[in-house]
Structure 1
Amino acid sequence: MNSDDVVVLDVRETNEFAKSHIENAINIPLGKVEEQLGSLEKHKNHPMIVTCQTGARSVAACKTLTKAGFEHVFNMTGGMQSWEDNKLPIKVSSKN
Protein backbone atom coordinates (compact mmCIF):
# COMPACT_ATOMS: atom_id res chain seq x y z
CA MET A 1 0.00 0.00 0.00
CA ASN A 2 2.96 2.30 0.49
CA SER A 3 3.90 1.95 -3.17
CA ASP A 4 3.43 4.97 -5.43
CA ASP A 5 1.34 3.07 -7.95
CA VAL A 6 -1.28 1.79 -5.48
CA VAL A 7 -4.65 3.47 -5.91
CA VAL A 8 -7.16 3.73 -3.06
CA LEU A 9 -10.76 4.00 -4.24
CA ASP A 10 -13.26 5.08 -1.58
CA VAL A 11 -16.84 4.24 -2.64
CA ARG A 12 -18.61 5.97 0.25
CA GLU A 13 -20.90 8.90 -0.37
CA THR A 14 -19.26 12.32 -0.71
CA ASN A 15 -20.36 13.48 2.75
CA GLU A 16 -18.87 10.35 4.38
CA PHE A 17 -15.63 10.83 2.48
CA ALA A 18 -15.42 14.48 3.57
CA LYS A 19 -15.54 13.49 7.25
CA SER A 20 -12.41 11.35 6.97
CA HIS A 21 -10.55 9.38 4.33
CA ILE A 22 -7.20 7.90 3.43
CA GLU A 23 -4.89 10.54 2.01
CA ASN A 24 -4.87 10.66 -1.82
CA ALA A 25 -7.89 8.34 -2.05
CA ILE A 26 -10.18 8.78 -5.03
CA ASN A 27 -13.83 9.20 -4.04
CA ILE A 28 -16.45 7.74 -6.37
CA PRO A 29 -19.69 6.75 -4.61
CA LEU A 30 -20.68 3.13 -5.30
CA GLY A 31 -23.71 4.15 -7.38
CA LYS A 32 -21.43 6.03 -9.80
CA VAL A 33 -18.53 3.58 -10.13
CA GLU A 34 -19.80 1.99 -13.34
CA GLU A 35 -20.38 5.32 -15.08
CA GLN A 36 -16.98 6.62 -13.88
CA LEU A 37 -14.91 3.64 -15.09
CA GLY A 38 -13.39 5.82 -17.80
CA SER A 39 -11.85 8.14 -15.21
CA LEU A 40 -10.19 5.11 -13.57
CA GLU A 41 -8.90 3.64 -16.85
CA LYS A 42 -5.37 5.03 -16.34
CA HIS A 43 -5.16 2.95 -13.14
CA LYS A 44 -6.29 -0.30 -14.78
CA ASN A 45 -2.95 -2.09 -14.34
CA HIS A 46 -2.16 -0.67 -10.91
CA PRO A 47 -3.06 -2.36 -7.63
CA MET A 48 -6.37 -0.87 -6.46
CA ILE A 49 -7.59 -1.05 -2.89
CA VAL A 50 -11.32 -0.41 -2.59
CA THR A 51 -12.85 0.79 0.67
CA CYS A 52 -16.16 1.94 2.08
CA GLN A 53 -17.32 2.33 5.69
CA THR A 54 -17.48 -1.33 6.76
CA GLY A 55 -16.34 -3.32 3.73
CA ALA A 56 -19.79 -4.19 2.35
CA ARG A 57 -20.23 -1.65 -0.47
CA SER A 58 -16.64 -2.09 -1.57
CA VAL A 59 -17.32 -5.75 -2.43
CA ALA A 60 -19.81 -4.66 -5.10
CA ALA A 61 -17.35 -2.08 -6.43
CA CYS A 62 -14.60 -4.73 -6.61
CA LYS A 63 -16.87 -6.94 -8.71
CA THR A 64 -17.64 -4.06 -11.08
CA LEU A 65 -13.95 -3.21 -11.47
CA THR A 66 -12.89 -6.82 -12.02
CA LYS A 67 -15.64 -7.31 -14.60
CA ALA A 68 -14.37 -4.17 -16.39
CA GLY A 69 -10.89 -5.67 -16.68
CA PHE A 70 -9.08 -4.15 -13.72
CA GLU A 71 -6.41 -6.68 -12.87
CA HIS A 72 -5.35 -6.10 -9.27
CA VAL A 73 -8.40 -5.21 -7.19
CA PHE A 74 -8.46 -5.70 -3.43
CA ASN A 75 -11.29 -5.15 -0.95
CA MET A 76 -10.26 -3.47 2.31
CA THR A 77 -11.73 -5.82 4.92
CA GLY A 78 -13.56 -3.87 7.61
CA GLY A 79 -13.41 -0.65 5.60
CA MET A 80 -12.72 2.77 7.06
CA GLN A 81 -14.27 1.74 10.36
CA SER A 82 -11.50 -0.82 10.85
CA TRP A 83 -8.86 1.59 9.50
CA GLU A 84 -9.83 4.23 12.07
CA ASP A 85 -10.25 1.67 14.89
CA ASN A 86 -6.62 0.69 14.27
CA LYS A 87 -5.58 4.36 14.54
CA LEU A 88 -4.20 4.44 11.01
CA PRO A 89 -3.71 7.89 9.40
CA ILE A 90 -6.70 9.70 7.97
CA LYS A 91 -7.26 13.03 6.29
CA VAL A 92 -10.13 15.17 7.49
CA SER A 93 -11.70 17.70 5.17
CA SER A 94 -11.28 21.30 6.29
CA LYS A 95 -14.77 22.12 4.99
CA ASN A 96 -17.80 21.60 7.23
Structure 2
Amino acid sequence: MKFIVDNWMLILIALASGGMLFWPMLRGASSGSLTAQGAVQLINRERAVVVDVREPEEFAAGHVTGAKNVPLSELEQKLPGAVKNKSLPLLLICASGARAQRAVATAKKLGYEQAQAVSGGLKSWKEANLPVEKA
Protein backbone atom coordinates (compact mmCIF):
# COMPACT_ATOMS: atom_id res chain seq x y z
CA MET A 1 0.00 0.00 0.00
CA LYS A 2 2.89 2.35 0.79
CA PHE A 3 4.19 1.83 -2.78
CA ILE A 4 0.87 2.96 -4.27
CA VAL A 5 0.71 6.03 -2.04
CA ASP A 6 4.32 6.99 -2.76
CA ASN A 7 4.07 6.41 -6.53
CA TRP A 8 0.49 7.35 -7.34
CA MET A 9 1.56 9.74 -10.09
CA LEU A 10 3.66 7.10 -11.88
CA ILE A 11 0.79 4.61 -11.67
CA LEU A 12 -1.62 7.20 -13.08
CA ILE A 13 0.75 7.99 -15.98
CA ALA A 14 1.21 4.27 -16.73
CA LEU A 15 -2.56 3.69 -16.78
CA ALA A 16 -3.18 6.74 -18.97
CA SER A 17 -0.50 5.81 -21.51
CA GLY A 18 -1.71 2.20 -21.62
CA GLY A 19 -5.23 3.43 -22.24
CA MET A 20 -4.08 5.70 -25.06
CA LEU A 21 -2.22 2.81 -26.70
CA PHE A 22 -5.18 0.47 -26.34
CA TRP A 23 -7.89 2.91 -27.52
CA PRO A 24 -7.14 2.73 -31.31
CA MET A 25 -7.31 -1.08 -31.19
CA LEU A 26 -10.74 -0.91 -29.58
CA ARG A 27 -12.00 1.64 -32.09
CA GLY A 28 -10.62 -0.29 -35.06
CA ALA A 29 -12.02 -3.62 -33.90
CA SER A 30 -15.50 -2.30 -33.33
CA SER A 31 -15.87 -0.14 -36.41
CA GLY A 32 -14.78 -2.68 -39.04
CA SER A 33 -13.35 0.13 -41.12
CA LEU A 34 -9.97 1.10 -42.47
CA THR A 35 -8.28 4.11 -44.00
CA ALA A 36 -7.93 4.69 -47.72
CA GLN A 37 -4.21 3.86 -47.47
CA GLY A 38 -5.03 0.62 -45.65
CA ALA A 39 -7.49 -0.23 -48.40
CA VAL A 40 -4.80 0.29 -51.06
CA GLN A 41 -2.49 -2.07 -49.20
CA LEU A 42 -5.20 -4.76 -49.08
CA ILE A 43 -5.93 -4.28 -52.78
CA ASN A 44 -2.25 -4.58 -53.72
CA ARG A 45 -1.14 -7.29 -51.30
CA GLU A 46 -4.21 -9.48 -50.85
CA ARG A 47 -6.21 -8.79 -54.03
CA ALA A 48 -9.06 -7.23 -52.07
CA VAL A 49 -12.28 -6.59 -54.00
CA VAL A 50 -13.79 -3.10 -53.83
CA VAL A 51 -17.58 -2.86 -53.87
CA ASP A 52 -19.22 0.56 -54.12
CA VAL A 53 -22.62 0.48 -52.39
CA ARG A 54 -23.85 3.81 -53.80
CA GLU A 55 -26.64 4.13 -56.36
CA PRO A 56 -25.70 3.64 -60.06
CA GLU A 57 -25.94 7.38 -60.88
CA GLU A 58 -23.56 8.22 -57.99
CA PHE A 59 -21.22 5.44 -59.13
CA ALA A 60 -21.21 6.76 -62.71
CA ALA A 61 -20.16 10.23 -61.50
CA GLY A 62 -16.92 8.79 -60.11
CA HIS A 63 -15.72 5.70 -58.26
CA VAL A 64 -12.63 3.83 -57.09
CA THR A 65 -10.76 2.38 -60.06
CA GLY A 66 -11.83 -1.23 -60.57
CA ALA A 67 -14.72 -1.09 -58.10
CA LYS A 68 -17.92 -3.06 -58.65
CA ASN A 69 -21.25 -1.32 -58.11
CA VAL A 70 -23.77 -3.13 -55.92
CA PRO A 71 -26.25 -0.65 -54.38
CA LEU A 72 -26.90 -1.10 -50.66
CA SER A 73 -30.59 -1.80 -51.28
CA GLU A 74 -29.64 -4.77 -53.53
CA LEU A 75 -26.56 -5.96 -51.65
CA GLU A 76 -28.10 -9.09 -50.14
CA GLN A 77 -29.34 -10.34 -53.53
CA LYS A 78 -26.49 -9.25 -55.83
CA LEU A 79 -23.28 -9.47 -53.76
CA PRO A 80 -22.89 -13.28 -54.05
CA GLY A 81 -23.03 -12.96 -57.86
CA ALA A 82 -20.67 -9.97 -58.00
CA VAL A 83 -18.02 -11.37 -55.61
CA LYS A 84 -17.85 -15.14 -55.71
CA ASN A 85 -14.67 -15.69 -53.66
CA LYS A 86 -15.68 -15.12 -50.03
CA SER A 87 -12.13 -15.69 -48.75
CA LEU A 88 -10.78 -12.48 -50.34
CA PRO A 89 -10.93 -9.22 -48.37
CA LEU A 90 -14.05 -7.25 -49.30
CA LEU A 91 -13.80 -3.46 -49.13
CA LEU A 92 -17.10 -1.61 -49.07
CA ILE A 93 -17.20 2.07 -49.97
CA CYS A 94 -19.82 4.78 -50.36
CA ALA A 95 -19.79 8.59 -50.42
CA SER A 96 -18.97 9.23 -46.76
CA GLY A 97 -18.72 5.81 -45.08
CA ALA A 98 -22.17 5.57 -43.46
CA ARG A 99 -23.77 3.21 -46.00
CA ALA A 100 -20.61 1.13 -46.20
CA GLN A 101 -20.74 0.57 -42.42
CA ARG A 102 -24.28 -0.81 -42.78
CA ALA A 103 -23.16 -2.92 -45.74
CA VAL A 104 -20.44 -4.60 -43.63
CA ALA A 105 -23.10 -6.26 -41.43
CA THR A 106 -24.96 -7.54 -44.49
CA ALA A 107 -21.77 -8.84 -46.11
CA LYS A 108 -20.70 -10.65 -42.95
CA LYS A 109 -24.14 -12.21 -42.70
CA LEU A 110 -23.62 -13.52 -46.25
CA GLY A 111 -20.30 -15.12 -45.25
CA TYR A 112 -17.77 -12.45 -46.23
CA GLU A 113 -15.82 -12.53 -42.96
CA GLN A 114 -13.13 -10.13 -44.21
CA ALA A 115 -15.61 -7.38 -45.13
CA GLN A 116 -14.55 -3.88 -44.08
CA ALA A 117 -15.77 -0.36 -44.75
CA VAL A 118 -13.43 2.29 -46.05
CA SER A 119 -13.73 5.03 -43.43
CA GLY A 120 -14.65 8.41 -44.86
CA GLY A 121 -15.80 6.78 -48.10
CA LEU A 122 -14.99 8.17 -51.51
CA LYS A 123 -14.43 11.57 -49.91
CA SER A 124 -11.39 10.31 -47.95
CA TRP A 125 -10.26 8.31 -51.01
CA LYS A 126 -10.15 11.52 -53.07
CA GLU A 127 -8.51 13.47 -50.24
CA ALA A 128 -5.70 10.89 -50.26
CA ASN A 129 -5.25 11.61 -54.01
CA LEU A 130 -6.02 8.01 -54.96
CA PRO A 131 -7.29 7.12 -58.46
CA VAL A 132 -10.94 7.63 -59.33
CA GLU A 133 -12.59 6.78 -62.65
CA LYS A 134 -15.91 7.69 -64.25
CA ALA A 135 -18.22 5.20 -65.94
Q: Work out the number of aligned pairs and report it.
A: 93
Larger radius of gyration: 2
Which piece of structure 1 moves more, 40-49 or 68-77? 40-49
Normalising to structure 2: TM-score of the pair? 0.64
Q: Deviations over 1:27-64 (max 9, x none)?
A: 00100001113304512110011000000000111100
Could you tell me how far apart the structure 2 residues matched to 1:43 and 1:22 are? 20
Moved over 3 A (4+): none
Specify the code of the residue in structure 1 equivalent to 2:77. Answer: E
Q: Deviations over 1:61-87 (max 9, x none)?
A: 110010111121111000001111222
The 8 Å contact of residues 70 and 79 in structure 2, kept in 1 or not, is answered as no
Partner residue in 1 for 2:89: 47
What 5-or-longer segments of structure 2 have no aligned partner? Answer: 1-42
Percent of residue pairs bearing the same amino acid type: 38
Q: Find out whether 1:5 has 2:86 as its counterpart.
A: no
Map of 1:1-96 to 2, 5 A cutoff?
Answer: 1-3=43-45, 5-40=47-82, 42-93=84-135
Structure with more helix by fraction = 2
Normalising to structure 1: TM-score of the pair? 0.88
CA-based RMSD of the aligned residues comes to 1.4
